Amino acid sequence: MAPHSRIILVRHAQAEHNVTFDWSIPDAPLTPLGKTQATALAPLIPQLQREVDLIATSPLTRTVQTTLRAFAPAITRLGGPGKIALLPQAQEVNAVPCDTGRSRSQLEHDPDFAGLDLEPLVEGWNSKSGFWAADEGVVAERAAWVRRWLRSPEEGTIVLVAHGDILRRIVAGPGGVSGGPGWKNAEVRVYRFDSRYVEGEECYLDEKGVVAAAGGWDVTSTEAQVLATEGGAEMEGKL
Protein backbone atom coordinates (compact mmCIF):
# COMPACT_ATOMS: atom_id res chain seq x y z
CA MET A 1 0.00 0.00 0.00
CA ALA A 2 1.27 3.46 -0.87
CA PRO A 3 -0.78 6.06 1.04
CA HIS A 4 1.71 8.82 0.27
CA SER A 5 1.82 8.23 -3.48
CA ARG A 6 1.21 11.21 -5.72
CA ILE A 7 -1.67 10.50 -8.08
CA ILE A 8 -1.76 12.46 -11.34
CA LEU A 9 -5.16 12.34 -13.05
CA VAL A 10 -5.48 13.55 -16.64
CA ARG A 11 -8.46 13.97 -18.92
CA HIS A 12 -7.92 13.08 -22.57
CA ALA A 13 -7.49 15.82 -25.18
CA GLN A 14 -10.31 16.92 -27.48
CA ALA A 15 -12.04 13.98 -29.18
CA GLU A 16 -14.45 13.97 -32.09
CA HIS A 17 -17.60 13.49 -30.01
CA ASN A 18 -16.68 16.43 -27.76
CA VAL A 19 -17.24 18.92 -30.57
CA THR A 20 -20.00 17.21 -32.57
CA PHE A 21 -22.12 15.78 -29.70
CA ASP A 22 -22.33 12.71 -31.94
CA TRP A 23 -22.36 9.82 -29.49
CA SER A 24 -22.60 7.31 -32.34
CA ILE A 25 -18.91 7.69 -33.26
CA PRO A 26 -17.39 4.31 -32.34
CA ASP A 27 -14.60 4.63 -29.75
CA ALA A 28 -14.23 8.30 -30.63
CA PRO A 29 -10.61 9.26 -31.45
CA LEU A 30 -8.88 12.59 -30.96
CA THR A 31 -9.50 15.44 -33.35
CA PRO A 32 -6.49 17.05 -35.07
CA LEU A 33 -6.72 19.78 -32.42
CA GLY A 34 -6.84 17.11 -29.73
CA LYS A 35 -3.61 15.57 -31.02
CA THR A 36 -2.03 19.02 -30.91
CA GLN A 37 -3.29 19.56 -27.36
CA ALA A 38 -1.88 16.23 -26.19
CA THR A 39 1.50 16.92 -27.79
CA ALA A 40 1.56 20.43 -26.33
CA LEU A 41 0.95 19.07 -22.84
CA ALA A 42 4.26 17.18 -22.71
CA PRO A 43 6.58 20.24 -22.41
CA LEU A 44 4.24 21.87 -19.88
CA ILE A 45 5.03 19.17 -17.30
CA PRO A 46 8.79 18.49 -17.66
CA GLN A 47 9.32 17.63 -13.99
CA LEU A 48 6.49 15.13 -14.08
CA GLN A 49 7.99 13.52 -17.18
CA ARG A 50 11.15 12.92 -15.12
CA GLU A 51 9.43 11.75 -11.95
CA VAL A 52 6.50 9.55 -12.97
CA ASP A 53 6.99 5.92 -11.97
CA LEU A 54 3.90 4.34 -13.53
CA ILE A 55 1.61 5.39 -16.40
CA ALA A 56 -1.87 3.94 -16.77
CA THR A 57 -4.62 4.73 -19.23
CA SER A 58 -8.16 3.83 -20.13
CA PRO A 59 -8.00 1.57 -23.21
CA LEU A 60 -10.27 3.78 -25.31
CA THR A 61 -8.61 5.22 -28.40
CA ARG A 62 -8.69 8.87 -27.32
CA THR A 63 -7.05 8.17 -23.96
CA VAL A 64 -4.35 5.98 -25.50
CA GLN A 65 -3.66 8.62 -28.15
CA THR A 66 -3.43 11.27 -25.44
CA THR A 67 -1.14 9.17 -23.25
CA LEU A 68 1.31 8.40 -26.04
CA ARG A 69 1.65 12.07 -26.96
CA ALA A 70 1.38 13.83 -23.60
CA PHE A 71 3.77 11.49 -21.80
CA ALA A 72 6.12 10.55 -24.63
CA PRO A 73 9.32 11.54 -22.73
CA ALA A 74 8.27 9.58 -19.65
CA ILE A 75 7.22 6.55 -21.72
CA THR A 76 10.64 6.49 -23.40
CA ARG A 77 12.37 6.80 -20.03
CA LEU A 78 10.32 3.97 -18.52
CA GLY A 79 11.02 1.56 -21.36
CA GLY A 80 8.45 2.13 -24.10
CA PRO A 81 4.71 1.61 -24.68
CA GLY A 82 4.85 -1.90 -23.23
CA LYS A 83 5.27 -0.34 -19.79
CA ILE A 84 1.92 1.50 -20.01
CA ALA A 85 -0.78 -0.18 -17.93
CA LEU A 86 -4.12 -0.45 -19.73
CA LEU A 87 -6.88 -0.05 -17.16
CA PRO A 88 -10.30 -1.00 -18.56
CA GLN A 89 -11.84 -0.13 -15.20
CA ALA A 90 -11.09 3.52 -16.04
CA GLN A 91 -13.12 3.49 -19.27
CA GLU A 92 -15.80 6.13 -19.72
CA VAL A 93 -19.19 5.76 -18.09
CA ASN A 94 -22.00 5.79 -20.64
CA ALA A 95 -23.20 2.90 -22.81
CA VAL A 96 -22.95 4.80 -26.09
CA PRO A 97 -20.64 4.01 -29.02
CA CYS A 98 -18.27 6.93 -28.40
CA ASP A 99 -17.66 5.69 -24.83
CA THR A 100 -17.36 2.00 -25.74
CA GLY A 101 -13.98 0.43 -26.40
CA ARG A 102 -13.17 -2.08 -29.10
CA SER A 103 -12.38 -5.74 -28.71
CA ARG A 104 -8.86 -6.93 -28.10
CA SER A 105 -8.78 -8.60 -31.53
CA GLN A 106 -9.58 -5.26 -33.19
CA LEU A 107 -7.00 -3.35 -31.19
CA GLU A 108 -4.27 -5.84 -32.07
CA HIS A 109 -4.34 -4.41 -35.60
CA ASP A 110 -4.53 -0.73 -34.63
CA PRO A 111 -1.22 1.18 -35.00
CA ASP A 112 -2.11 3.37 -32.00
CA PHE A 113 -2.01 0.25 -29.82
CA ALA A 114 1.21 -1.20 -31.25
CA GLY A 115 3.54 -2.36 -28.48
CA LEU A 116 0.92 -2.06 -25.73
CA ASP A 117 0.22 -4.99 -23.45
CA LEU A 118 -3.41 -5.90 -24.20
CA GLU A 119 -3.56 -8.67 -21.59
CA PRO A 120 -5.73 -6.60 -19.17
CA LEU A 121 -8.51 -6.42 -21.78
CA VAL A 122 -10.47 -9.37 -20.48
CA GLU A 123 -13.49 -10.83 -22.26
CA GLY A 124 -16.45 -8.47 -21.92
CA TRP A 125 -14.48 -5.42 -20.82
CA ASN A 126 -16.30 -3.36 -23.46
CA SER A 127 -19.72 -4.97 -22.96
CA LYS A 128 -21.19 -2.17 -20.81
CA SER A 129 -22.86 -4.86 -18.71
CA GLY A 130 -22.22 -6.39 -15.29
CA PHE A 131 -19.16 -4.82 -13.66
CA TRP A 132 -18.81 -2.64 -16.76
CA ALA A 133 -22.41 -1.35 -16.80
CA ALA A 134 -23.39 2.31 -17.03
CA ASP A 135 -25.52 2.00 -13.87
CA GLU A 136 -24.55 4.73 -11.40
CA GLY A 137 -24.07 2.33 -8.49
CA VAL A 138 -21.91 0.03 -10.58
CA VAL A 139 -19.86 2.99 -11.84
CA ALA A 140 -19.25 4.09 -8.25
CA GLU A 141 -17.97 0.59 -7.44
CA ARG A 142 -15.72 0.68 -10.47
CA ALA A 143 -14.36 4.09 -9.48
CA ALA A 144 -13.57 2.75 -5.98
CA TRP A 145 -11.80 -0.20 -7.62
CA VAL A 146 -9.63 2.26 -9.55
CA ARG A 147 -8.74 4.13 -6.35
CA ARG A 148 -7.72 0.85 -4.70
CA TRP A 149 -5.64 -0.03 -7.76
CA LEU A 150 -3.90 3.34 -7.54
CA ARG A 151 -3.19 2.62 -3.87
CA SER A 152 -1.59 -0.76 -4.50
CA PRO A 153 1.79 0.00 -6.17
CA GLU A 154 4.88 0.98 -4.25
CA GLU A 155 5.16 4.63 -3.30
CA GLY A 156 5.84 6.93 -6.21
CA THR A 157 4.13 9.06 -8.80
CA ILE A 158 1.33 7.44 -10.79
CA VAL A 159 -0.33 8.92 -13.87
CA LEU A 160 -3.81 7.85 -14.99
CA VAL A 161 -5.27 9.20 -18.23
CA ALA A 162 -9.05 8.79 -18.32
CA HIS A 163 -12.35 10.55 -19.10
CA GLY A 164 -14.34 13.41 -17.61
CA ASP A 165 -17.27 11.41 -16.27
CA ILE A 166 -15.32 8.53 -14.72
CA LEU A 167 -12.76 10.98 -13.31
CA ARG A 168 -15.55 12.79 -11.45
CA ARG A 169 -16.47 9.45 -9.85
CA ILE A 170 -12.86 8.54 -9.08
CA VAL A 171 -12.33 11.81 -7.20
CA ALA A 172 -15.72 11.68 -5.47
CA GLY A 173 -15.56 12.02 -1.69
CA PRO A 174 -17.74 10.82 1.19
CA GLY A 175 -20.44 13.25 0.08
CA GLY A 176 -20.61 11.80 -3.40
CA VAL A 177 -19.77 13.26 -6.80
CA SER A 178 -18.93 16.96 -6.68
CA GLY A 179 -20.96 19.43 -8.72
CA GLY A 180 -17.88 21.58 -9.23
CA PRO A 181 -16.31 22.59 -12.55
CA GLY A 182 -15.69 19.84 -15.08
CA TRP A 183 -12.33 18.78 -16.42
CA LYS A 184 -10.84 20.61 -19.38
CA ASN A 185 -9.43 18.54 -22.20
CA ALA A 186 -5.80 17.61 -21.48
CA GLU A 187 -6.08 18.89 -17.92
CA VAL A 188 -3.70 17.55 -15.27
CA ARG A 189 -4.64 17.45 -11.59
CA VAL A 190 -2.60 16.24 -8.63
CA TYR A 191 -4.05 14.14 -5.80
CA ARG A 192 -2.90 12.26 -2.74
CA PHE A 193 -4.88 9.81 -0.68
CA ASP A 194 -6.93 11.35 2.10
CA SER A 195 -5.25 10.12 5.27
CA ARG A 196 -8.64 9.69 6.96
CA TYR A 197 -9.79 7.10 4.43
CA VAL A 198 -6.68 5.60 2.84
CA GLU A 199 -6.95 2.32 4.75
CA GLY A 200 -10.60 1.74 3.85
CA GLU A 201 -12.34 0.25 0.84
CA GLU A 202 -13.26 3.68 -0.53
CA CYS A 203 -9.77 5.22 -0.03
CA TYR A 204 -10.83 8.69 -1.11
CA LEU A 205 -8.43 11.14 -2.74
CA ASP A 206 -7.57 14.68 -1.72
CA GLU A 207 -6.96 17.19 -4.53
CA LYS A 208 -3.73 19.17 -4.38
CA GLY A 209 -4.30 21.41 -7.39
CA VAL A 210 -4.31 21.73 -11.16
CA VAL A 211 -0.87 21.43 -12.72
CA ALA A 212 -1.57 22.19 -16.37
CA ALA A 213 -4.25 22.28 -19.03
CA ALA A 214 -3.40 22.21 -22.72
CA GLY A 215 -6.98 22.33 -23.99
CA GLY A 216 -10.25 24.14 -23.50
CA TRP A 217 -13.44 22.84 -21.93
CA ASP A 218 -15.43 20.35 -24.01
CA VAL A 219 -18.39 18.49 -22.58
CA THR A 220 -18.47 14.82 -21.70
CA SER A 221 -21.24 12.57 -22.99
CA THR A 222 -23.13 12.91 -19.69
CA GLU A 223 -22.89 16.70 -19.74
CA ALA A 224 -24.02 16.75 -23.36
CA GLN A 225 -27.11 14.76 -22.44
CA VAL A 226 -27.93 17.22 -19.67
CA LEU A 227 -27.51 20.14 -22.06
CA ALA A 228 -29.88 18.48 -24.49
CA THR A 229 -32.68 18.23 -21.92
CA GLU A 230 -35.02 20.95 -20.75
CA GLY A 231 -33.09 23.45 -18.68
CA GLY A 232 -29.81 22.46 -20.31
CA ALA A 233 -29.24 25.95 -21.66
CA GLU A 234 -29.28 27.28 -18.11
CA MET A 235 -26.65 24.75 -17.09
CA GLU A 236 -24.47 25.65 -20.08
CA GLY A 237 -24.34 29.24 -18.94
CA LYS A 238 -22.95 28.14 -15.58
CA LEU A 239 -20.19 25.88 -16.90
Contact between residue 162 and residue 58 where contact means Cβ atoms under 8 Å apart: yes
- Interval 164-198: pLDDT, tens: 999 999 999 998 887 666 899 999 999 999 999 99
Q: What is the pLDDT of residue 176?
A: 84
Judge whether residue 126 has pLDDT over 80.
Answer: yes
pLDDT given for residue 219 in this prediction: 65
Q: Is residue 230's pLDDT more than 50? A: no
Give the full edge-to-edge strand order of the sheet including 205-213.
Answer: 85-86, 54-57, 157-162, 6-11, 187-193, 205-213
Model's pTM, two decimal places?
0.89
Q: 85 Cβ partners below 8 Å, 6+ apart? A: 54, 55, 56, 57, 117, 120
Specify the DSSP class assigned to residue 112. G
CATH superfamily of 6-238: Phosphoglycerate mutase-like (3.40.50.1240)
CA distance 58 to 163: 8
**Adjacent-strand bridge partners of 6:** 157, 192
CA distances from 162 to 88, 107, 169 (A): 10, 18, 11
pLDDT range class, residue 223, cuts 50, 70, 90: low
